[in-house]
Structure 1
Amino acid sequence: MMYWDGNMGGWGYVLMTISFVLFWGAVIAVVVLLARALGPGNRSHNLSLGHGYAENLLAERFARGEIDENEYTARLDVLRRGPRR
């Protein structure tokens, strides 16, 4: 004869709470990871572009007025020549 009258008991509520937290934590983690991977703030792909990324960064500094035209052209020439050996 079963004496389970619909009551889960103490351990049933504990396991239900733990599984609830784990499930929603996983759902939130997936949403956050997708948002970070697909969002406009992801610049990690630019780091692998090499001198193209450096040239863009240099052009941004020139556009903001951080460097003058002479410094811009000199640094751009160095970037395009490559490293000295």
Structure 2
Amino acid sequence: MLATLATTAVVTHAGPWAAGFGWAFLLIPIFWILVIGLIIFLVSRRRHAWMMHGGPEGYGPPWMRGASAESTLSERFAKGDIDETEYRARLEVLRSNRPNA
């Protein structure tokens, strides 16, 4: 009788691990597979959104976007490197040679 009570107390205290791994053995790998899958899903979704909605200069992350030719030209005009007639002439050439014009 004492042995039966001791065995019952050990099994009750130890939970599912005392009777072998059973179904709980599968929970740990399933949990980590789901966590890793969720992380991969969120990273790829964020990367896709970042690549598609990059900003006014173009698509992609900020370090891959180059300054557009028009913004470079306007910066040179603002610094005083070129005068207004040269700025307008070059801007007209840039706008006429756009690939999607």
Question: Which of the five TM-score ranges fits, normalised by the shorter chain?
Answer: 0.3 to 0.5
The two structures have a TM-score, normalised by structure 2, of: 0.40
**Larger fraction in helix:** 1
In terms of Rg, which structure is larger? 2
The two structures have a TM-score, normalised by structure 1, of: 0.45
